[in-house]
Structure 1
Amino acid sequence: MPALLRRMFDAAVAAAQPALCLPAHLPEPPRGRTLVIGAGKASAEMARVLEQHWPGELTGLVVTRYGYAVPCERIEIVEAAHPVPDENGMAAARRILAMVQGLSEDDLVICLISGGGSALMALPLPLSDSSLDLAVKQEINRALLQSGATISEMNCVRRHLSAIKGGRLAAACHPARVVTLVISDVPGDSPSDIASGPTCADASTCADALAILQRYRIAVPEAVTRLLESGAGESIKPGDARLARSEVRMIAAPQIALEAAAEVARQAGVVPHILGDSIEGEARDVGIVVAGIARQVARRGQPFAAPCVLLSGGETTVTVRGEGRGGRNVEFLLSLGVALNSHPGIYAIACDTDGVDGQEEIAGAVLTPETLEQAWALGINPRRSLANNDGHGFFQALGASVVCGPTLTNVNDFRAVYVEPLP
């Protein structure tokens, strides 16, 4: 059964590859220049595919995560840090903004956006006292990542502290036409949340961002508070004339990946059920809920008859309280395992489709009915590992980690739970 679960994950990743989903969404070449820009874990592969299918001249620059670059001939690829931004990402963002200056109505900007772009293309808003520098943004970003805030909440804050997000990049391209090709990694597929929407109008406000910081008790310098209270960090709003020629095309999303995995299950004779492509919440809480559903399927045949596989996607969160190695997919899986307590006939896989769960070069892991027993035999307490946010340490010790390297795409979390009926 673990082999089938892994094939399902591989199919989910394959369905979101730029080579499969990008060419059909390319715009017509313009009368003027074609400029390619963008950011995200999939942006380099998107750039390579674009080069292979573009009929005319083009130039450009995209920024991706360290280790995710691929060779391109006409588009420059820059690597930067994720999930906490670094100097490389800031320098790339500054160069991208400079590249789009002075464009005409005859020019076309193709913006390649995927998950991870918020950190990879970071450019703090300038302040009169220069307090909002990269170090401040790094600290705010770290605090948000550990707070348990949703991705939508985190990106709301990022948009209002950025010189490039929240529609500012598209506004800088005016009057050129802007076509943004997006691979979604966020629940609900809202373009304004993917990489914090650099080419999308944003209806949220500075007041919303300030409320989020206060809700999660995230301390920020006084200059940041003044920026948000004054409204000076306001993003580009719907109806702004500078975005009239800006268009977003969604080329891949979590639902596509789940449907591909479901087809693999069907071909193996297993009935798939997609629970949702935008599930959020604390990873350990989602694990407990899914464990309850799986037990009901096994014992009662409700709401689905077993054998079957339960599929889901989205982006859970982890409120960090321990000192373990993360990440959210293995936290979900460990919580699921603890709640199932070695229930017979239930197997699961949980992985991030970009190949990196948290900050580890590990996509996720596989859970079997024997997992807890194997851990106890090694002297590992599953509940203690969960309390310490040490999902990676737990599954790696058992040899149950899933390591696939950079996938060159990103449609967020993938979870599959196979359930057999009780005898």
Structure 2
Amino acid sequence: MNNAAVGSLILACCCVAQCWWRKTKDRRKEIKLRKKYFKGKLKEQNFNQEEAEKTRLFTEKQLKDATDNFDEDRTIGKGGQGTMYKGMLSDGKLVAVKRSSSLDETQWKEFINEVIILSHVNHRNVVKLLGCCLETKTLHLVYEFIPNGTLSDLLHSPNKEFRVTWDIRLRIASEVAGAIAYLHSSSSAPIYHRDIKSSNILLDHKYVAKVCDFGISRSTSIDQTHVTTCVRGTFGYLDPEYFLSNQYSEKSDVYSFGVVLVEILTGQKPMRVTLDDATSLVMQFINLTDDSAIYEMLDPIILASNHMTDDIMVVVNLAKRCLHPEGVGRPTMMQIAMELACLSKKTHVKVAASSEENISDPSNDFIFPENHIDETYSF
């Protein structure tokens, strides 16, 4: 190799090294600016030290260590929005780490804004967002780990040894409604979920409902009146009014919750696809006016509680109100939550009274078998 060739090779190596050094320097600068912005937003919102520590910034190394470098064996859920991994932090705490799409630099500020808001949502029926990682182009979100699968799993892949009775279903519906009402009305800025569905309702080891997946791993849009996400939602759950107006509101969440209520009542999926066509469960449900026809659609398990028939019909009518074609005709989530809470309390009293009469009936107890735990997320 002549001197000119050697010189050219050295020059090329120097250029590559300089380019790598410059990119590394720029990347470190970007990360530093993100962290500075993150801490600045915490101070701007007047969070004290204790509150600020609730929103953690995880390093890329911490998340790799927690998930064995995102090993496939740690996967607990996959979907169009990313992959969820089960992880364990250095202190032994179990977490769910979501890795999804990347954002460009113009979207990072919005992402950080929403992370801060949602990480301070404090409700027993909302999955806790513990923090995020700002060191990578790919989004990494860290949630508390919920061990017992989803409401979709419970309804559509039931355990034969575990009967999902009416009182259990009503309690879960009431918990979900209360969580969404809290997001709409009680947090610092109203939050619209925009992707409410049974697979976004997790269940803990006691089958307590936990609403999850607010869509912050997608591109976000924040204004001064509410927090929302640029989610198109899920087929079968989307508000038909949204298709016409392209305007999402709290009543759109109400419609999606109405679909979940129909799932709870019937034990069937929102869309049933056959070789001939796709049938909408919701359209079939809202078009029924005869009580006997409605009873035929209901899950036989809940009809086994004959003394609950009136309460079941109350929820049937509530679901129809939620599914009104126009948002103005639907109740608010707060109204729904109050109605379901009262009904759930009354049902619990009935179940307790029935248990005293027939204490040997296991279907009336809130005791759940350990062998039904399923460490799977579906989203």
- TM-score, normalised via structure 2 length: 0.28
Which structure shows the higher helix fraction? 2
- TM-score, normalised via structure 1 length: 0.25
